[in-house]
Structure 1
Amino acid sequence: MKVIVDVAIIPLGAGLSLSKYVAECEKIFREAGLKTTLHANGTNIEGEWDEVFNAIKKCHEHLHSIGVPRISTNVRIGTRTDREQTMEDKIKSVEEKLI
């Protein structure tokens, strides 16, 4: 099943700057061959359900392995059965209505 996910993986107890941990997860998503869009408060990910959630799990495992004691993750999930839709399709649909 195709899925579009908005995920915020939040390392806790790892200091004030978290960008190095965000970068580690972005590398994991790319290595998994997932389509991603980084934004100010998280990452949008597009792919097959199992691949996306396996990559999120791998982020948790990796961050813990490099010393992050706690992680809080927020996930929003979107699926469709009537047709395939990409992240770009969703954005384009809104932008067309702004004209």
Structure 2
Amino acid sequence: MLIAFSVSPLGGESESVGRAVADAIRVVRESGLPNETSAMFTTVEGEWDEVMDVVRRATEAVAAHAPRVSLVLKADIRPGHTGQLRAKVERVEEYLAE
């Protein structure tokens, strides 16, 4: 499955937003799961339990910075498929090259 998520602190000091997000991304990168971070979301690929555990831990990392946390999730649940983090983009690029 692919999970795209965005997590950010609410309340607290505005200067700590970047640091809080960096702590969340650190959790994702240290997980060892395939991942990609963009300006709006971080996408993680893996099995349900392992991906949701990473999202939970990333959210907890942000919660250490603020009294409230915003979490947005989008999931592509497709059993039996792996490598979709890159493959989905490659398919679109192939169509664009036509």
What's the TM-score bracket when you normalise by the shorter of the two chains? 0.7 to 0.9
Secondary structure of the residue that 1:67 maps to in structure 2?
Answer: coil
Where in structure 2 are the equivalents of 1:12-23 lying within 5 Å? 12-17=10-15, 18-23=17-22
Structure 2 unaligned spans of 5+: none
Are 1:52 and 2:61 matched, yes or no? no
Q: Shift of the alpha carbon at 1:19? A: 1.7
Which structure's residues are more often helix, by fraction?
2
**Alignment RMSD (CA, Å):** 1.7
Q: Shift of the alpha carbon at 1:14? A: 3.3
Q: 1:9-50: per-residue Cα shift (whole Å, max 9, x none)?
A: 021113334221111011111222121111011201111211
| Runs of 4+ that moved beyond 4 A | none
Q: Shift of the alpha carbon at 1:85? A: 4.3
Give the TM-score taking structure 1 as reference length. 0.84
Aligned-residue identity in percent: 29
Secondary structure of the residue that 1:8 maps to in structure 2?
Answer: strand
Structure 1 unaligned spans of 5+: none
Give the TM-score taking structure 2 as reference length. 0.85
